[in-house]
Structure 1
């Protein structure tokens, strides 16, 4: 099962400010990410620039996209980073989330919808296309240097 582990934004991250202990945090995060890579858990992850560097795209009918420049309100609902984890179940994903080396802040853990979630909604051919697409993504993904 794949999970999205979202790092929730803070007023500080939205101002583009790094924490005072950024050097320690980078070392600890590097070690944590290395552990997840070695365990075969980490598929992807990155920090994000503040929402002032972002765009919000809202659709008002097919083919009609309205783009709004950031920054966006309601900091508590914004993200400042993410990991995509590949875990056997929610308990394993939660165990990794609990180990994130943060002294403050918040995370959100959400399972990703896998192709099987659409099995009763679309044809088996479409489900298989999605499985093939995911397998191709994994095949082309950078391989960790161990």
Structure 2
């Protein structure tokens, strides 16, 4: 099972405050532990929403909204993508994570990633083949 582990933003992360050397060391050690355990697929921190944009869809119309975005608690500061056996395993790994926002309350969300078999009959053999081609091409980059 794949899970996306989402680190929620804070006022500091949205202000572009960089993590301390102490936190970067702790997170580096944690990421190394995840890699050695064979569960880490990918991870990264994200720039503040002031450097981002959203595209709102309304029928055929597209509207671009530039950041920053107001609701900090709804924003994402970083993520991990893990391959684990269960949601419970993901929870146990998250509980071992250093506080991503030292000195404050922080929140990390755990979300399971859809797998091909989750889509049922609508995910036809042709769509499966296309998905495999796209993933193979993406891995080359």
What TM-score comes out, normalization by structure 1 length? 0.84
* Matching of residue 72 in structure 1 with residue 69 in structure 2: yes
Count of matched residue positions in the alignment of Structure 1 and Structure 2: 137
Give unpaired runs (5+ residues) of structure 2: none
Once residues 121 and 47 of structure 1 are traced to their aligned partners in structure 2, the CA distance between those partners, rounded to angstroms, is: 34
Once residues 79 and 71 of structure 1 are traced to their aligned partners in structure 2, the CA distance between those partners, rounded to angstroms, is: 12
Q: CA deviation digits over 1:83-116, x for unaligned, max 9?
A: 0011111111111111111144110000011111
Shift of the alpha carbon at 1:140? 4.2
Once residues 36 and 138 of structure 1 are traced to their aligned partners in structure 2, the CA distance between those partners, rounded to angstroms, is: 23
User: Structure 1 residues 132, 118: closer, same or farther in 2, change over 3 A?
Assistant: farther
* Matching of residue 95 in structure 1 with residue 96 in structure 2: no
Residue aligning to 1:110: 111
Residue aligning to 1:37: 35
Give unpaired runs (5+ residues) of structure 1: 142-146
Which of residues 22, 25, 29 is equivalent to 2:23? 25
In angstroms, what is the RMSD of aligned CA positions? 1.9
Once residues 60 and 138 of structure 1 are traced to their aligned partners in structure 2, the CA distance between those partners, rounded to angstroms, is: 29
With 7-16 and 95-104 compared, the bigger mean Cα shift is at 95-104
With 103-112 and 3-12 compared, the bigger mean Cα shift is at 103-112
Q: Which runs of 4+ in 1 moved over 2 A?
A: 119-122, 127-134, 136-141
Shift of the alpha carbon at 1:139? 5.2
Residue aligning to 1:3: 3
